[in-house]
A and B are shown apart, each in its own frame.
Chain A
Amino acid sequence: MRNTVKIIIFVIFFFVISVFYISLNRETNYNTSSLINKEVPQFKIAYFDKNGSFTKQDLINNNYTLINFWASWCGPCRVEHPVLMKLSAENNLDILGVNFKDKKELARKFLKDLGNPYNFLLKDFEGKQSVIFGIYGIPESIIINNENTIIKKFVGPLSIDDYKEIKEIIK
């Protein structure tokens, strides 16, 4: 009896210590990954320039889609813009831009100055639509495959490495 207690206590002790040790070297930053590998949720976001909205059903089925949340007031969005411009040259990728909590004139000016990479431009001035996609800070981008499944999420500005990765995915 006493030996069993002894063994149990030591096993718990080593278990706890090793879990602590493992956790020490883990990334503590949080990444929302709960939507990955799931189907795109239903959504309905208003067009930026015209009446009507873009919905899930408007996603073109045989193409990849990159949904990019951006705003003119966001510094890192300027940083990732050249990458988006490069991506816009890809044929089998549609880029869906969602203008987030912005002002229309400023957003227009931003695109006029830096170029418009978006196949579709939508607006989300209250920011509510971002929650549907689990966005918590911008810029954030989501890539969706031809079966309407979310494959990957990019938090923060897209880098050249991300560019290469996206090219690899859509190949």
Chain B
Amino acid sequence: MKLKIFLVFFMFYTQSLFGIEKIIDPNTIHKNLRCLVCQGQSISDSNSDFAQTIKLVVKDLINEGKTEDEIYSFMSDKYGEWIVFKPQLNAQNSLLWILPYIALIFGGFFIFTLVKKRQ
């Protein structure tokens, strides 16, 4: 009985976890694009001519069926990597993405040796 309840509960939970629809939200994309003519603002925050144009184009690209990543790479083709707030994972940015984890692993290892020494 207990197991049954647990199973039902578990299935229900996983279903609601994975059942989220994958729709592209233009707002998320706007937030991840830099407004080039503004001071540090995103397209979503700005109402400049440039931001409005980009919003229109993003809408078109979504309607064409482009994925989020395709839209980002379209934009960075046109305006350079500066326009996307999420740095691409390429050779140049590899250190940026990897170093924090290296630091994390190294720190963990360091603590581990400190504790281990005693035993």
On A, residues with C-beta under 8 Å from B are 30, 32-35, 101, 126-128, 130-134, 136-137
Among B53, B78, B81, point to the contact of A35 (Cβ < 8 A).
Answer: B78
- Contacts A101-B53, A130-B53, A134-B78 given; 8 further ones with Cβ under 8 A? A30-B36, A30-B82, A32-B36, A127-B56, A128-B56, A131-B54, A136-B50, A137-B37
Query: Are the C-beta atoms of A34 and B78 separated by less than 8 Å?
Result: yes
Q: Which residues of B contact A130 (CB under 8 A)?
A: 53
Q: Which residues of B contact A134 (CB under 8 A)?
A: 78-79
Residues in B76-119 with C-beta less than 8 Å from chain A:
76-82
Number of interface residues of B (CB under 8 A): 17
Query: Are the C-beta atoms of B78 and A131 separated by less than 8 Å?
Result: yes
Given the interface contacts A101-B49, A128-B57, does A34 sit within 8 Å of B36 by beta carbon? no
Given the interface contacts A30-B36, A126-B56, A128-B60, does A137 sit within 8 Å of B50 by beta carbon? yes
Measured CB to CB, the closest approach of chain A to B109, in angstroms, equals: 16
Measured CB to CB, the closest approach of chain A to B81, in angstroms, equals: 8
Measured CB to CB, the closest approach of chain B to A3, in angstroms, equals: 20
Q: Which residues of B contact A126 (CB under 8 A)?
A: 53, 56
Measured CB to CB, the closest approach of chain A to B89, in angstroms, equals: 18
Query: Are the C-beta atoms of B57 and A131 separated by less than 8 Å?
Result: yes
Q: Which residues of A contact B56 (CB under 8 A)?
A: 126-128
Q: Does B47 contact A (CB under 8 A)?
A: no
Query: Are the C-beta atoms of A127 and B80 separated by less than 8 Å?
Result: no
Query: Are the C-beta atoms of B76 and A34 separated by less than 8 Å?
Result: yes
Query: Are the C-beta atoms of A32 and B78 separated by less than 8 Å?
Result: yes
Query: Are the C-beta atoms of B53 and A131 separated by less than 8 Å?
Result: yes
Q: Which residues of A contact B57 (CB under 8 A)?
A: 128, 131
Interface hub of B36, B53, B56, B76 (most chain A Cβ within 10 A): B53
Q: Which residues of A contact B76 (CB under 8 A)?
A: 34
Query: Are the C-beta atoms of A127 and B49 separated by less than 8 Å?
Result: yes
